[in-house]
Amino acid sequence: MHPADRDAARAPRVITSLQNEQVKFIRSLDMRKVRRETGLFSVEGAALIITARDSGWLPRTLIYAAGENQRPIVGGLVEWALAAGADCLEVTEAIIAKLASKENPQNVMAVFEQRWALPPLAVAEPADGTWLALEQVRDPGNLGTIIRTADAVGARGIMLIGASCDPYSPEAARATMGSIFNVPVARLDQPSFVQWLASWPGDVVGTHLSGTDDFRTVAYRSPTVLVMGSEGAGLSSELAAACTRLVKIPMAGRLDSLNLAVATALALYQIRGSHLRV
Ligand code: SAM
């Protein structure tokens, strides 16, 4: 290839039409079906993209509003994306507005390949590790918040059990604040999870409204799997039966349960307490 052609291939492409096929494709990543078929997802905002870069992810495509690349942060991301061989698209304000979320829209976005972890091999896990298992989580905002919390406490990863919402949806990925790039996420059906638990050497702690142990007073046996039920139905009887203990988060008011993400945060902070530092 002639050097001039190589430089052109590495330069951003300017796109001004909303009908551009690449623009339409990136927009279609809002749909779960398209994400499932392509294995891709998009995120918005320089902060999330920087987290991806610093965590070793490489973009497929970087999109930014014309002029944004004059800002050193975005200019640096364009350099990084071009060096990684990604497509860089310089688009109009109207196009980025169509691609971005309606609340708090950002002028830079990127497309990445999804990564799915395998359930951990118990023998390869650190003795004091903590995994989190979520049964049929429904709300992407809850899932994103939980991924962020799992990152905050240094959990080893998350297993999504059964039919769950998509951690790579725009809403979930946004709620992770970038932790989607740091926390391994695996998915498996309920029978496979119960089978996998048989090899787990430590505690399998289910949080349950009819648990009899106060979650603050239990001596958790490491490594630990924390199992949370779904927003509506709670923990299924099959998973409750597979836990080595069922704990309750005590309540004083008139409600019987906490929001899933709040309950997960309380339990994770209790289990991971000795690993946390100010
Ligand atoms: N109606 C559901 C039930 O009967 O469990 C409530 C589900 S709650 C919104 C979602 C999940 O958060 C529960 O399955 C459980 O894992 C956890 N959770 C919420 N509040 C809890 C509490 N007070 N004690 C133990 N777990 C709780």
Domain holding 169, by residue range, is 122-275
Q: pLDDT for 197-239, tens place per residue?
A: 999 999 999 999 999 999 999 999 999 999 999 999 999 999 9
Name all residues whose Cβ lies below 6 A of ligand 1. 207-209, 211, 228-229, 231, 234-235, 248-249, 251, 257-258, 260, 263
With a cut of 70, say whether residue 150 has pLDDT above it. yes
Q: pLDDT for 109-137, tens place per residue?
A: 999 999 999 999 988 889 999 999 999 99
Q: How far does the centroid of ligand 1 lie from the alpha carbon of residue 205, in Å?
A: 13
- Residues 127 and 265 both lie in one domain: yes
Give one DSSP letter per residue of 130-198, joined into a string: EEEEEES---HHHHHHHHHHHHHTT--EEEEESS---TTSHHHHHHHTTGGGTS-EEEE-HHHHHHHHT
- Residues 175 and 133 both lie in one domain: yes
Q: How far does the centroid of ligand 1 lie from the alpha carbon of residue 14, in Å?
A: 50
Last residue within a domain, chosen from 113, 143, 168 = 113
Residues 172, 139: Cα–Cα separation, whole Å: 8
How much is the pTM? 0.95
- Residues 165 and 92 both lie in one domain: no
Paired strand residues for 43: 110
Picking from 192, 164, 189, the residue whose alpha carbon sits closest to that of residue 36 is 164
Q: Which of 239, 258, 259, 270 to mutate to test the pocket of ligand 1 (most atoms within 8 A of CB)?
A: 258
Q: Which two tokens stand for residue 17?
A: 């039409």
Q: How far does the centroid of ligand 1 lie from the alpha carbon of residue 258, in Å?
A: 6
pLDDT band at 241 (very low <50, low <70, confident <90, very high): very high
Q: Which two tokens stand for residue 45?
A: 């905002």
Please compute, for residue 258, the number of CA atoms within 13 A of its CA located in the half-sphere on the CB side. 17
CATH number (domain holding residue 77): 3.30.1330.30
CB-based contact 111:60 (threshold 8 Å): yes
Last residue within a domain, chosen from 68, 90, 113 = 113
- Residues 146 and 188 both lie in one domain: yes
**Predicted pLDDT at 104:** 82
Q: How far does the centroid of ligand 1 lie from the alpha carbon of residue 193, in Å?
A: 20
| Count of domains for the chain | 2
Q: pLDDT for 151-183, tens place per residue?
A: 999 999 999 999 999 999 999 999 999 999 999
